[in-house]
């Protein structure tokens, strides 16, 4: 059994990855505001966690202007999806007593 993923283990980052991996890989991902609502994080807090995940290669952050407003979209990378699946499997194994 693999160990916990130290990056995803943090509660806000776990929620971020849960939300992003629930989206279809072909989707554009989730925007920053929606992620904020789903994770209960503040702007600054979420931004810092996204930076952390992006540096690990787990998410792709895209910044664009839509109707003259800045819009940040976040998507799970294939590497992030695999890491999240592995971390969830690790948590399930703990519960199963393995």
Residues binding another protein (CB under 8 A): 3-4, 6, 9, 11, 14-15, 18-19, 22-24, 30, 34, 38-39, 88, 91-92, 94-95, 97
- 15 burial type by CB count under 10 A (0-12 exposed, 13-18 middle, 19+ buried): middle
Choose between 11 and 57: whose C-beta lies nearer to another protein.
11
Q: How far is the CB of 62 from another protein (least distance, A)?
A: 18
SS3 of residue 70 by DSSP: strand
Q: How far apart are CA 3 and CA 87, in angstroms?
A: 8
Nearer CB in complex with another protein: 38/61: 38
């Amino acid at each position: 059994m693999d160990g916990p993923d130290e990056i995803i283990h943090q509660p806000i980052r776990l929620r971020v990855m849960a939300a992003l991996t629930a989206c279809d890989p072909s989707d554009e991902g989730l925007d920053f505001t929606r992620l904020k609502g789903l994770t209960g994080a503040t702007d600054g807090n979420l931004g810092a966690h996204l930076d952390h995940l992006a540096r690990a290669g787990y998410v792709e952050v895209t910044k664009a202007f839509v109707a003259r407003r800045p819009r940040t979209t976040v998507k799970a990378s294939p590497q992030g999806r695999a890491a999240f699946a592995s971390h969830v499997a690790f948590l399930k194994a703990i519960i199963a007593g393995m």
